[in-house]
Structure 1
Amino acid sequence: MATGRQLRDLFATILHECSPSNPAQLWNDFCHKICDDLGHRLRAGNIREDPTDEEVYDFGLYLIEGILLQMNKSLADCPGMPRPQHDWAAALGNCLIAEQRNYDPLEQQQLGDKRIPHLNPDQLSAFNEICHAVNTKSGQTFFLHGPGGTGKTYVYTTLCHHLHGQGKIVLCVASSGIASLLLPGGRTAHTMFKIPIQIHEASYCSIKRNDNLADLLRVTDLII
């Protein structure tokens, strides 16, 4: 079963890629599932003591808007779609960082702890080396080489859960949308880093120095 965060990613992708004829109806039909984790998040973060459904859904729209902005799109581009009315930015700060921290560290630690004993020696060696680099902030780059079916995705997922359990930010990206679905919170590299589709010698990622994405990248502990 998909989590609220996964459904928000999916909904934003549908708005961006599919241009549904009636996005507002789609939102009205599924907003309760898309936002099913946000009431707890608002209470746990001391943002709202007893949030109403309207506040929960408005917060969901705010987070979806943040995802769309990474895709160079906005809810304003989707005819009929409601837009957030509350000033969530003042309460949360950077919405991209807030969304990346939208998980339960204890649950993530438990998921990682269940997976680590199943790593084979080579997988465990890679896992330990990468975790050491993250924890010592040594800024290293690793490449896991192996044919399909050798457990690379298993290692990536284990790393993600384990580091989330330590409260760290892990960005999971892939070159295609299908591949990104295999990773926790995965997105395409083009979406996450604003990589142009058409590449030429003067191409660059359109990330401004002081925007939310730049701030997210500065505090990211690992990119997979």
Structure 2
Amino acid sequence: MLQILLKEASQSRGLLECDRSNFECLNEATTFQMPYALRRLFATILTYCQPANVGNLWDSFYKHLSEDFTRHATNDDLDVLFETLHSVDFFLQSMGKKIEFYDLPKKPLQKYSTRKDVSREIMDEMSIPVSADDDDARFKLNKEQHNAYDKIIECLDSVRSGLFFVNGPGGTGKTFLYRALLATVRKRNLIALATATSGVAASILPGGRTAHSRFKIPIDVHEKSFCSISKQSGLAELLRETRLIIRDEAPMAKRFAIEAVDRTLQDLVGISQPFGGKLVVLGGDFMQVLPVIPKPQFRRPSMEA
């Protein structure tokens, strides 16, 4: 209460930045943005612009923020309020914040009290479709692929950690094995992350992302680096719930980049095992990595006669 009074007093004396620019931004956006985009913009303003009077912005634009929810005939006022707050909280979590940090109405505790709130990152991964070809891929594996598939799925079934490396030249079917593993895990409503070092390799995996994008690996990585992931973020929640991580083209990555992911997962999960006890499959071909030849040291010619 004292903090609220102090903020109001500071604002009345002109010591805090006025929210006029935030108000004008939202007011202009209401003329052409859909409610979903408005809620994302509202969460962005809360996170990065630090408005002085959050409650006033909420009251001024609540009608526009909740417009799509009010169109459902089955929704009463409390339903609309819950859905709007839930959606804003959704975006805030993806930015590393929570709705409890702001002066906004509390979520109504009604029929939604048993509803599990999940982050946007988890919902995005859970919504990745599994094609029929990928689902049938496990029946078309050759002997070596099937051997690797069985050992990895055995760890998954027994809820054990595991670290595997799939080595093979290009064209030997590593991607086919990855797709079979991803389909099996996702058909069980579990989370599997598909990553690769390069964007080209990531694009051919269902739901694939580059490792730097998925794990927020620093560009200037060193031997003690951590990934830029807040423990309260939606990405951190996603990584805690993940059962399988696939990383293609692992030999092309810097050693410190892989170690940073390992170190970060142990910190997020709270388990001092490789990659926080996750089931991790690395793959690639060491023959495609160019050898590094040390440059011979240059010696100046002697000036002696």
The residue identity in structure 2 corresponding to 1:164 is R
Displacement of 1:110 in angstroms is 4.3
Q: 1:195 to 1:184 in 2, by over 3 A?
A: same
Residue 95, structure 1, aligned to residue 120, structure 2: yes
Displacement of 1:202 in angstroms is 3.6
String of CA shifts for 1:17-66, please: whole Å, max 9, x gaps.
Answer: xxxxxxxxxxx9xxxxxxxxxxxxxxxxxxxxxxxxx56xx28x96xxxx
Counterparts of residues 54-93 of structure 1 (less than 5 Å): 58=36, 85=65, 86=84, 87-88=86-87, 89=90, 93=118
Q: 1:179 to 1:112 in 2, by over 3 A?
A: closer
Q: 1:100 to 1:155 in 2, by over 3 A?
A: same
CA distance in 2, matches of 1:155, 1:93: 30
Displacement of 1:152 in angstroms is 0.2
Displacement of 1:109 in angstroms is 7.8
Check conservation: 1:112, 1:158, Cα contact below 8 A.
yes
Residue 212, structure 1, aligned to residue 237, structure 2: no
The residue identity in structure 2 corresponding to 1:93 is V
Q: 1:103 to 1:206 in 2, by over 3 A?
A: closer
1:45 — aligned with what? none
Displacement of 1:121 in angstroms is 0.6
The structure with more radius of gyration: 2
Check conservation: 1:109, 1:166, Cα contact below 8 A.
no
The residue identity in structure 2 corresponding to 1:96 is E
Check conservation: 2:182, 2:192, Cα contact below 8 A.
yes
Displacement of 1:200 in angstroms is 2.3
String of CA shifts for 1:126-179, please: whole Å, max 9, x gaps.
Answer: 111111111212110110011010000000011111111111100000111111
2:155 — aligned with what? 133
2:202 — aligned with what? 180
Check conservation: 1:173, 1:189, Cα contact below 8 A.
yes
2:184 — aligned with what? 162
The residue identity in structure 2 corresponding to 1:101 is M
Unaligned runs of 5+ in 1: 1-27, 29-53, 63-68, 77-83
Q: Secondary structure at the match of 1:141?
A: strand
As a proportion of its length, which structure holds more strand? 2
The Cα RMSD (Å) is 3.3
Aligned residues: 152
Residue 193, structure 1, aligned to residue 215, structure 2: yes
TM-score, with length taken from structure 2 = 0.44
1:44 — aligned with what? none
The residue identity in structure 2 corresponding to 1:100 is E
The residue identity in structure 2 corresponding to 1:127 is Y
CA distance in 2, matches of 1:218, 1:109: 26
Check conservation: 1:194, 1:205, Cα contact below 8 A.
yes
